[in-house]
Amino acid sequence: MTYSYSIGATRYGFADLRALLAKASPLRSGDVLAGLAAATAEERMAARLCLADLPLTTFLNEALIPYEADEVTRLIVDRHDATAFAELAHLTVGGFRDWLLAYEADAAVLARVAPGITPEMAAAVSKLMRNQDLIAVARKCRVVSAFRDTIGLPGRLAVRLQPNHPTDDARGIAASLLDGLLLGCGDAVIGINPASDKLSTFMQLWHMLDELIARFDIPTQSCVLTHVTSQIRGIEQGAPVDLVFQSIAGTEAANRSFGIDLALLGEARAAALSLGRGTVGDQVMYFETGQGSALSAGAHHGVDQQTCEARAYGVARAFSPLLVNSVVGFIGPEYLYDGKQITRAGLEDHFCGKLLGVPLGCDICYTNHAEADQDDMDNLLTLLGVAGVSYVMGVPGADDVMLNYQSTSFHDALYVREVLGLRHAPEFEAWLERMQILGPGGRVLDQPAAALLPLLDDLGRP
C-alpha cells in the first residue's frame, strides 16, 4: 500500500510502510547509507505528519518484512496479544503518543498493554517523540527482572562490571574486577568479553567467576560473552554458566549472519535453566543489540535501522531476559555519525525496549572514528539515568582495553548515582554494606574493604 501527504502544493509519496517509517526517522548516517533517509527536512516532516494519522492497526495488517520470509515477523505476529491491544486499537500513531504521555498511562497501565504493542508500533511512535517524551514515558515503565539480585526497581540503577583483558589473563581480569567491586559496581552482571575463541579459555573464565562469586557470597551473576553455541557446549561440559549471552538483531537474515536462529536461542535458554543457578529469579538470558547491525549484515530488507532495532527487542522479549542492552555507539560513524545521533538513538532504544516490557540497559559508548567524546557520554548517561535505565556499563576508566572503545566507567556510575539519587540493586546494596564497601549515606568508602583484602593478597602473590 502507498501513502502520501501534501504540504501546500507539494505532494510527498511513500512507496510503502517501510519507506514511510524510514523517511519519518530522525536523520542518521545509517539510513542515508542504506538509501532510505528523507531527501529533505520537509520530506521528513511530511512523513511524520502522514505517520501521525496512521491507525495503529495498520501495523497488524501490513508486515514490514513478509510473514513467510522472516521468522522474526512470525514471532511478532504469532505472539501478539490482541486482548492487551484492545484499549489501544482505536488510536492513530499520533494519538498513541498523546496516550502514552497522559497521566493516566502509569506503570500498571503500561505493563498491561505491553504485550499488545508490536516493535513496529513502538518504533513508529518514537519517531514522533522528542527526547523529553522518550525520557518521560520510559521513566514511567516498570520492567523488573531477577536472577541472584533484582534489577529494574524504582530509584535503582545496576551496573555491569566489564573487566576485560586483551589476553584474558586471569589475574588482570581479577584486578579490574576488584577495582569495580570496590567502587560498588557489578550488580547487573560480571560480564567478560573474551579475546580468545577457545572453549578451554571460556571454561577457565566461568570457573574463575563462579569461585569468586561463591567465595565472597556476592549476589550477582556471571557471564562470558561468546557465541551461544560455545556456551551450550560449555554447559554440556559442566561449566558453571549463570547467564547465556548472545548478540541478536531484528531480522531472520541478520540473526543468521550471527550464526543463530530463534530455535538455537530457545535451546540455549533451556540449557541454562537446567542448571537452576538463580536464587531470587530464573531469568537466564543476556542479549546485546545495536542500531545498524541488520544493515551491516546486508539483512535490513529496506527497513530503517531504528525499526530493525525495535524488532530485536521483540526477539529478546520472547526469551524472558535478565538483561538487554543496546551498544549504542559501538558500530561506528557510518550508522550513528556523532554525539547527537548517538544520544538520540540511545534514548529511542531505551524507550522502545521499556515500552515492549524488556529490561533495557545501555552500553553508552563510542569509538575513536566517531565524532564523539566523553562529554557526549556524560550527557547520555545523565539523560538515561533520568529515564530510568535498568543498567549501564562499568569499564575501568571508561577505556575497554580488549574491545578498543570507550564506554562508561566505575566513576561515572558513582556520579550518576550521586546526582540522581540512584541506589544499587537491593540484594547487592546489602552485600556492599556488609562488606563495608558502602558507608553511611550510600557512598563508597576510600579504603579498600577489609573483607576483600584476602583477594588483594592473592592477586599480589606471583
Partner 1 sequence: MDEASPPDRWQALRALTPARIALGRSGNALPTAEVLRFGLAHARARDAVHLPLDVGALVTDLAAAGFSALQVHSAADDRVRYLLRPDLGRRLSDASGQALEEHAGPGADLCFVIADGLSAVAVQKHAVALLRAFDAVAHGQWTRTPVVIAEQGRVAIGDEIGQRLRARLVAVLIGERPGLSAPDSLGLYLTHAPRVGRSDAERNCISNIRPDGLPYTAAARSLAWLVQEALRRGETGVALKDEGDVPLIGGDAR
Interface contacts to partner 1, rule CB under 8 A? 29, 33, 163-176, 178-179, 195-201, 204-205, 227, 229-230, 256-259, 296-297, 332-334, 337, 367-369, 373-374, 396-406, 409, 411, 414-415, 417-418, 446-448, 453, 456-457, 459-460
35 dihedral zone (left: phi>0; alpha: psi -120 to 50; beta)? left
CB nearer to partner 1: pick between 273 and 445: 445
CB nearer to partner 1: pick between 81 and 338: 338
CB nearer to partner 1: pick between 126 and 296: 296
Q: How far apart are CB 230 and partner 1 at their closest, in Å?
A: 7
| 3-state per-residue secondary structure call for 237-277 | CCCCCCCEEEECCCCHHHHHHCCCCHHHHHHHHHHHHCCCC
CB nearer to partner 1: pick between 177 and 324: 177
Q: Exposed, middle or buried, 57 (CB in 10 Å: 0-12/13-18/19+)?
A: middle
Cell numbers describing residue 381: 548517561
Q: Which residues contact 441 (CB under 8 A, 6 or more apart)?
A: none
Q: How far apart are CB 215 and partner 1 at their closest, in Å?
A: 18
Strand 405-406 and strand 399-400: the pairing is antiparallel
User: Grid cell 570457573 — which residue?
Assistant: 207
Of 190, 187, 138, 145, nearest in space to 346 by CA? 138
Q: How far apart are CB 195 and partner 1 at their closest, in Å?
A: 5
CB nearer to partner 1: pick between 34 and 91: 34
Q: How far apart are CB 204 and partner 1 at their closest, in Å?
A: 5
Alpha carbon 47 to chain centroid distance?
28
Query: Rounded CA gap, 195 and 126, in Å?
Result: 36
Q: Exposed, middle or buried, 33 (CB in 10 Å: 0-12/13-18/19+)?
A: middle
Bridge partners, residue 189, by sequence: 160
Q: How far apart are CB 434 and partner 1 at their closest, in Å?
A: 19
CB nearer to partner 1: pick between 54 and 241: 241
Contact 408, 394 (CB under 8 A): yes
CB nearer to partner 1: pick between 52 and 232: 232
Q: How far apart are CB 349 and partner 1 at their closest, in Å?
A: 21
Strand 189-192 and strand 222-224: the pairing is parallel
CB nearer to partner 1: pick between 152 and 333: 333
Q: State the DSSP code for 127.
A: T
Q: How far apart are CB 299 and partner 1 at their closest, in Å?
A: 9
CB nearer to partner 1: pick between 133 and 371: 371
Q: How far apart are CB 180 and partner 1 at their closest, in Å?
A: 9
Q: How far apart are CB 440 and partner 1 at their closest, in Å?
A: 16
DSSP secondary structure string, 164-233? --TT--HHHHHHHHHHHHHTT--SSEEEE--S---HHHHHHHHHHHHHHHHHTT-S--EEE-S-HHHHHH
